[in-house]
Amino acid sequence: MSRNFIILPSMKLTIAELAEILKGKVVGEDNTQLFKLSKIEDAKKGDITFVSNPRYLPWLYKTKASVVIVDSNLEYDNKKVGNIILVDNAYSSFNELLNRFAQNKFKHTGIHKNSSIDSTVELGNNVSVGQFSSIGQNCKIGDNVIIMDNVSIQDNVIIGNNSLLYAGVRIYDSSFIGSNCIIHSNCVIGSDGFGFAPNKMGEYIKTPQIGNVIVGNNVEIGSNSSIDRATLGSTIISDGVKIDNLVQIAHNVSIGKNTVIAGQCGIAGSAKVGENCQIGGQVGIIGHIVIGNNVKINGQTGVFSNIKDNAILKGTPAMDERSFNRSYVYFKNLEKIAKDLNDLKKLNANKN
């Protein structure tokens, strides 16, 4: 059956209905019609927006939005505002609305006639497969999975319920993708790890990579990211992990639950990253080290050794953030400090 993915129209509801969804309190008119979400500086009549950061408070008085979701503890001039909904956390409430919109972004419309699905594949209910996508032998695809155009899924792959694969994704053989996952365009899951052994002639001989990749539930992987299969065993991306665009995760790496990794990070082979970590952009982590739970790593940090739980790191090589900031004050003044030391040496030499 020929099909296309369709963007669904915006929702339609009143301020009163929105307040009920968000469990908030209306200040102003409650029967105004609302149609879509918008940034506060761009909002127009019929739009919903929010303010949670005091820096954006001036926009609360200038916005043309029909309603603004506002933190209940935020101080504002009630004589200058239009319709608002007071909630405990405006950012979380707006995020909830974004998720509601996103749930209806695509609808299932079947299997495209130009797709290729092996006869041994087990398809769940309401699966959509885009044109020029292929699914190899002995794969299992869960319910409500959306596989968009030009996706390649090799043999023996398992994909859980409600997962979404954007155009151009490549899933190599024997990979496991959990439920409620989102994999963005041009990701590669299960490519060979970077394994080579030099022989007596100095030539590098490829080390076969015969493991796989296991991706847990509720994982999101940004576009153009690559997760290598294990040499032996599995590369593991645990439940709730969020990976940005352009991230490289090497063979046999293990990422703990609910860890977030920003763009352009590289994690070398067999490194183990704990749960609930926050890794900033362009961080480099060498192989065969262990990073504990709840660790925060600032952008462009280079991590070369094991890290204990709850650490906050900065710099290359990585060091405690507070130590780095104190040391950086001296570094900026290093030329002056050196001059002062030389002056003291000359002064002492003259005294002697």
Sign of CA dihedral 286, 292, 294, 295: negative
Sheet holding 182-183, edge to edge: 128-129, 146-147, 164-165, 182-183, 220-221, 242-243, 260-261, 278-279, 296-297, 312-314, 319-320
Separation between Cα atoms, residue 337 and residue 42, nearest integer Å: 50
Of 227, 194, 192, 226, which is closest to residue 211 (Cα–Cα)? 192
Catalytic residue from among 108, 112, 184, 251: 251
Which residues, other chains included, contact 180 with Cβ-Cβ below 8 Å and sequence gap of 6+? 160, 161, 162, 163, 217, 218
Separation between Cα atoms, residue 141 and residue 328, nearest integer Å: 52
Separation between Cα atoms, residue 303 and residue 273, nearest integer Å: 11
Whether 251 is a known active-site residue: answer yes
Left if phi > 0, otherwise alpha if psi is -120 to 50, otherwise beta: which for 291?
beta
**How many CB atoms sit inside 10 A of residue 110's CB?**
13
159 forms beta bridges with: 141, 177
* CB 81 within 8 Å of CB 61: yes
| Catalytic sites, residue numbers | 251
